[in-house]
Amino acid sequence: MAHTSTRHSALAGIALTVGACACFALLDTATKLVSATVPLFMALWLRYLFQSLLTSAWVLPRSGWRLPRTAHPRFQVLRAVLFAGTSLFGFFSIRVMPLPEFTAIVAATPLCVTLVAALWLRQHVSLPRWLLVATGLASVMLILRPGGDTLGWALLLPLAMLALATGYQILSSLMAGQEDPATTQFYTGWIATALTSLGAPFVWTQIDNPWIWLGTFVMGLSSALGHLMLLRAYARTTPATIAPFLYTQIGFAMLAGWAVYGHMPDGWSLVGMALIAASGVASAWLTVRETR
């Protein structure tokens, strides 16, 4: 009976993970559409505002309509700053890159986290993991192809995003077990909203197209729903079980890029995406073996 319950819980966690990845692909698609016509800070502010309101509607009733208490306010602020910085460079990147390639670079974040954990946090990393990290980072370069005429100087944007996302994930892992995930999500959203509020008034423009308003709402809804589904998934099963299915976001991004923009990645980009996904799945498999 216990084995059956664990299996059902794992399947529920996998389903929630795939659903979260679909939400994140929808977020990136809506972001690319909205950011083409709305100033950057304004689009970011609207996204964070809708995300924070929706997250609050889920968190506050469970805390008795009181602000959730946090034991690490400085870490919450730093996490929100890294989150906002990641989104900022993500917005810039998604303007100049197709969705599948952008998503594949984001998917390399766990491999970069492994690199930082070894070099900075002095955590032991086995030789197979070093090989996977090297493969993943080489795959990112295969997608970006420095020196080519695909992106030029703009390739620095996704690399900056990848660096900030790595810092965000490292800090999140250090906070795990010390803060309730819902509380962290609540403060991250509202602090990011406050930060972008500093620049939004200076670039505010009138939005007359109701589809743009719908797009900004979809950005906030898909972000809030995706993060909450992922939090629920981690509560249902282990990170090692979830990790391989995070790469389904690349497939959803390819589908969205084809449906909305008629774009399909070229051969080298497809090879890079496949290598990043394979490296991530192999890393999850190693985690399972090492924790037995």
The 10s digit of each residue's pLDDT in 196-232 is: 998 888 888 888 889 889 998 999 899 888 888 887 7
> Mean pLDDT across the stretch 140-152?
65
Q: What is the pLDDT of residue 3?
A: 58
pTM of the model: 0.77
Q: How confident is the model at residue 95 (pLDDT cuts 50, 70, 90)?
A: confident
pLDDT at 288: 65
Q: Could you tell me the residue range of the domain that residue 62 belongs to?
A: 2-290
Q: Please state, for a pLDDT cut of 70, what percent of the chain lies above it.
A: 89
What CA–CA distances, in Å, run from 108 to 117, 135, 210, 249, 256?
Answer: 15, 10, 35, 12, 20
262: left (phi over 0), alpha (psi -120 to 50) or beta: left
More confident residue, 157 or 3: 157
pLDDT of residue 292: 57
Q: For 156-166, how does the pLDDT look when each residue is reduced to its tens digit (9 = 90+)?
A: 888 888 889 88
How many domains does the chain fold into? 1
Range with the poorest average pLDDT among 51-60, 92-101, 219-228, 234-243: 234-243
99 within 8 A of 251, measured Cβ to Cβ:
no
Asked whether residue 93 carries a pLDDT value surpassing 90, the answer given is no
Select from 46, 30, 37, 50 the least CA-distant residue to 201: 46
Using alpha carbons, select from 235, 223, 180 the residue that is nearest to residue 47.
223
- Adjacent-strand bridge partners of 187: none
The mean pLDDT of the chain is 82
